Structure 1
Amino acid sequence: MLRVQNLSKRFGGLTAVDNVSFEIEKGQIFGIIGPNGAGKTTLFNLITGNLVADQGEVRFKDQLITGKKPHQIARLGIGRTFQMVKPFGGLTVEQNVMMGALPKHASFADANRAAHDVMGMLGLTPYQNEEARSLPVGLKKKLELARALATQPSLLFLDEVMGGLNPTEVQEMMELIRFLNKENGITICMIEHVMAAVVALCEQIVVIQQGRKIAEGTANEVTSNPAVIEAYLGGEFAHAGA
């Protein structure tokens, strides 16, 4: 479904993404993990058109999307959330979700129905008239997800959608991701630091360190890889694998 080949990005003397390649198959939940500053979000930005790659290419459903603008890529069926949630603070929850829905629908009424479907699915309907800036972090994360879903993606990139959530909210978000994948047929690629969620959800995982891919495999393969344990996972997994 998505093929990333030899993707690189430099900022002056810093190589943020260094010759990274991987493939995401239709129907997968795919994980990207690594330390803070490893280049994970930069990688997302290259794929979704928010940054221009210095090298390499990205193909989505066999179509070259390297160099396309974010709105062009979104129109093809790729949606995303942002690590730092970016709602339109002065707008209501409903209006924020509508902003995602409008480009995909011929009429305001159709976009409104689609927005309400998404809000209902994520439990946001009771907050539809609240200003986005007034929401607590857990609901802001849901709103960010709702705006992405309103674009009707077939491939959804989630950038630390569980960051800042309490354990109950993490569990709820995990169930939502499973639902979107299994019941709605959305292929998902997620950056996440909550390793319990990554291990439980992801069928395939890529590990990034200092911009380079250092490992790829199943959760068991990655969490038992000595290089990954040393670079990122640390003592808990080192002890488990001993």
Structure 2
Amino acid sequence: MLTVQNLSKRFGGLLAVDDISFEIQKGEIFGIIGPNGAGKTTLFNLITGNIPSDKGQVRFQDHVITGKKPHQIASLGIGRTFQMVKPFGGLTVEQNVMMGALPRHKLFADAQKAANEVIDRLGLKPYAREEARALPVGLKKKLELARALATQPSLLFLDEVMGGLNPTEVQEMMALIRSLNRDQGITICMIEHVMAAVVALCERIVVLQQGRKLAEGTASEVTGNPEVIKAYLGGDVAHAGA
């Protein structure tokens, strides 16, 4: 579904992403992990067109998307959330989600209907008329996800959607991600520091370290890799984090 080939990005003297290659298969939940500063979010930004790459190619289905603008990539069916949640604070939850739906619908009423369907699905209906700035962190994370889902993606990139959530909220988010994948048929690629969630959700995982791919494989293969344990996991899969 998505193929990343030899992707690289340098910022001055820092090689943030160094010759990264991997493939995401349709229908899977794919994980990207690594310590802070490993290049994970930069990699997302390169794939989704938020920053240009220096080298390499990204192919989504039949399209080479390298060099395309974010809105062009979104129109092909790739959605994403951002690590730093920044909703339009003065707009309501419904209006925020409609910002994601409007590019897909010619009529305002159709965009509003689509937005409210997503709001209902994510349990945000009680907050639909509230200003986004008033929401606690857990609901802002759901709003960020709702706005991405409103673009109707077939491939969804999630950048630490569980960051800052309490254990109950983490479990709710895990159940939601499973549902989006299994029931809605959305392929998911996720960056996450909550390793228990990564192991439970992801069929395959790529590990980054200092911009390079350290390992790739199933959850058991990656978490049992001595190099990964030394570099990131610290020997305790369940409690490894940032």
Q: Normalization by structure 2: what TM-score?
A: 0.97
What corresponds to 1:93 in structure 2?
A: 93
**2:201 corresponds to 1:201:** yes
Task: Provide the rounded CA distance (Å) in 2 between the counterparts of 1:116 and 1:95.
Answer: 10
- Residue matched to 2:234: 234
Equivalent in the alignment of 2:79: 79
2: CA distance, partners of 1:228 / 1:56:
25
Measured in 2, the distance between the counterparts of 1:180 and 1:70 equals: 22
1:137 and 2:137 aligned = yes
Q: Distance in 2 between matches of 1:116 and 1:92?
A: 12
Any residues of structure 2 matched to 1:172-191 within 5 Å, and which?
Answer: 172-191=172-191
- Cα distance in 2 for partners of 1:162, 1:41 equals 15
Partner of 1:240: none
C-alpha distance in structure 1 between counterparts of 2:7 and 2:110, whole Å: 38
What's the offset of the Cα at 1:106?
1.4
Structure 1 match to 2:54: 54
Could you tell me how far apart the structure 1 residues matched to 2:17 and 2:182 are? 31
Deviation by residue 1:22-69 (Cα, 9 ceiling, x = unmatched): 000000000000000100000000000001000000000031000000
Q: After superposition, where does 1:94-133 map in structure 2 within 5 Å?
A: 94-133=94-133
Q: What SS class does the counterpart of residue 145 from structure 1 fall into? A: helix
Q: Quick one: distance in 2 between partners of 1:107 and 1:184?
A: 24
Partner residue of 1:2?
Answer: 2
Structure 1 runs of 4+ with >3 Å offset = none
Tell me how far 1:235 sits from its aligned partner.
Answer: 3.0
Instruction: Give the aligned residue type for 1:119.
Output: I
- Between the aligned partners of 2:111 and 2:231, the Cα distance in structure 1 is 45
Residues 134-181 of structure 1 show CA distances to partners (whole Å, capped at 9, x for unaligned) of 100000000000000000000000000000000000000000000000
Counterpart for residue 66 of structure 1: 66
Letter in 1 for 2:87: P
- Residue 162 of structure 2 aligns with which residue? 162
Q: TM-score, normalized by length of structure 1?
A: 0.97
- Structure 2 distance, partners of 1:87, 1:226, is 40
Q: Show structure 2 runs of 5+ residues with no match.
A: 238-242
Q: CA deviation at 1:236?
A: 1.8
SS of the residue corresponding to residue 235 of structure 1 reads coil
Could you tell me which amino acid in structure 2 is paired with residue 34 of structure 1?
G
Q: Write the distance in 1 (CA, Å) between the matches of 2:97 and 2:52.
A: 27
The secondary structure found in structure 2 opposite 1:96 is helix
Match of 2:240 in 1: none
The residue that corresponds to 2:40 in the other structure is: 40
Structure 1 position 119, deviation (Å): 0.2
Q: What amino acid sits opposite 1:117 in the alignment?
A: E
Which blocks of at least 5 consecutive residues in structure 1 are unaligned? 238-242
Distance 1:135 1:84 in 2: 15
- What is the CA–CA distance in structure 2 between the aligned matches of 1:194 and 1:2, rounded to whole Å? 24
Aligned-partner Cα distance in 1 for 2:128–2:7 = 40
What displacement does 1:86 show?
A: 1.3
Aligned length: 238
- Cα deviation digits, residues 69-98 of structure 1 (max 9, x gap): 000000000000000001001100000000
Letter of the 1:82 partner, please give it: F
